Amino acid sequence: MIQGEAWYMIRQLLREGVSVSEIARRTGCDRKTIRKIREAASHPARQERRKRASKLDPYKPYLRRRAAAGVLNAVKLLGELRRQGYVGGITVLREFLHDLRPAVPIVTDLAPGADVLATPGRG
């Protein structure tokens, strides 16, 4: 279905009396789509997408407990999850762990020549 500005443009052309066939030519939409818009009482409400379940969902409480205990190594946790029956990949696990990692404060007022600690992937 047509969304946003295109929908309103088609409605405007219909109000101006432009034929369905002409609107279809101008917009590249099918004539049936133009007719559906013409017959619609108002702009269709946007539908919320359903959140898909993740293979990681059953293991998230366990991962939160391990993260609270300070274990945030994705490779180590993947091994633990595999022993529990997890069949997903490490990328999904890393993305989940990213939000559990504590934020590293950024220090901007260092004296010249001071050593700087950097956390890979956090900057």
Length of the chain: 123
CA distance 35 to 86: 49
68-111: per-residue pLDDT in tens?
Answer: 998 999 999 999 999 999 999 999 999 999 988 887 766 666 66
Query: How much is the average pLDDT of 16-26?
Result: 94
CA distance 91 to 25: 45
- CA–CA distances in Å: residue 65 to residues 68, 70, 72, 95: 5, 9, 10, 17
- CA–CA distances in Å: residue 7 to residues 3, 25, 113, 120: 6, 15, 60, 47
Question: Across the chain, what does the average pLDDT equal?
Answer: 85
CB-CB contact of 34 with 23 (8 Å): yes
Q: What is the pLDDT of residue 61?
A: 96
- CA–CA distances in Å: residue 56 to residues 29, 39, 65, 73: 41, 44, 14, 16
Query: How much is the average pLDDT of 33-60?
Result: 86
